Amino acid sequence: MKVTLSRTTDVSSPRLAFVNERITNGQDAAFGEFPYICSMQWVLIGTSSHICGSSIINNNWILTAAHCFTEIPNLGSIWAACGLTDLTITTTQQRHMIDERVIHPLYPGGVAPNDIAVGRLAASLVFNANVQPINLPTQGLAPTIGTAVLAGWGSTSTTAIPSMPNRLQRANKPVVTDQQCCDLMNSVIAGACNNLASSNVCAGGGPISACSGDSGGPLSQQVGGTWTHIGIVSWGVTPCGTTVAPSVYVQTSAFRNWIDSSIN
């Protein structure tokens, strides 16, 4: 079961929304290919529901989107299931409750800048081949214009009816300039560019983008030969994968100092 975080129900025309639902036209990830990604799961009355993606930054903390915490009712608990590629195959899983949530103080809620948070795990992860932290970029180091990789358990459908895979999906996506992103956004929804901030980064466009992947999940890119976390899935234009508009991410490098201070 997956929980939709967008509160908008009208799917007849393009709109801005959290992009927790889809990686369209992606492909199955290989087992162990993304050891730094975790499934965030809302547990209520014994039932677990995948709600967001997240990334391991050390053995006690995960990185995600702020709205992955703020849009969930204040009931039950939220857990991080790490070491998974298929949600139904849990032999390599390490699953811990998130017992502390730190949301960026300037995040106002909704589709907005500063959509970033960290969560502390109730018990430490044990690193192995399936569970590893991802490298974080230096503060202020902008992503390279080029190919990045998105991973998540998002819907593979481009229609209003989701098709939720248990298998982790991956897709290569081009990082685009701020101006390209702004122009493409405005071509779909007039004024959409007004929602972009300098602390965002855009990637994709067309059938593998507009609303790709799980909210909170990682966009990664090789930096100096090391896979590095460059963006957190935040929002985009829906219906997913049906417009030219890119997906919008929180630019990780804009918040490296905040991340470090929050987890220390």
Instruction: Quote the longest CA-to-CA distance of the chain.
Output: 48
Q: Out of 6, 54, 115, 234, which one is annotated catalytic?
A: 115
Locate 41 and state its tokens: 């799961």
CA distance 143 to 123: 32
- The answer to whether 115 is a known catalytic residue is yes
The DSSP letter of residue 179 is H
Q: Which single residue is written with the structure tokens 């956004």?
A: 185
Residue type, 2: K
CA distance 127 to 168: 20
Q: Out of 155, 215, 220, 247, which one is annotated catalytic?
A: 215
- The answer to whether 67 is a known catalytic residue is yes
Locate 261 and state its tokens: 């201070």
Helix (H) or strand (E) holding 137: none
Locate 213 and state its tokens: 């992947």
- The answer to whether 104 is a known catalytic residue is no
CA distance 207 to 77: 34
The DSSP letter of residue 253 is G
Name the E strands within the chain.
15-18, 27-28, 37-44, 47-58, 61-64, 77-82, 94-103, 117-121, 147-152, 169-176, 200-203, 218-223, 226-238, 247-251
Q: Out of 67, 96, 104, 229, which one is annotated catalytic?
A: 67
Classify 261 as helix, strand or coil. helix
Q: What phi, psi does 252 have (nearest 5°)?
A: -60, -40
N-term to C-term CA, the chain = 34
Catalogue the active-site residues: 67, 115, 215
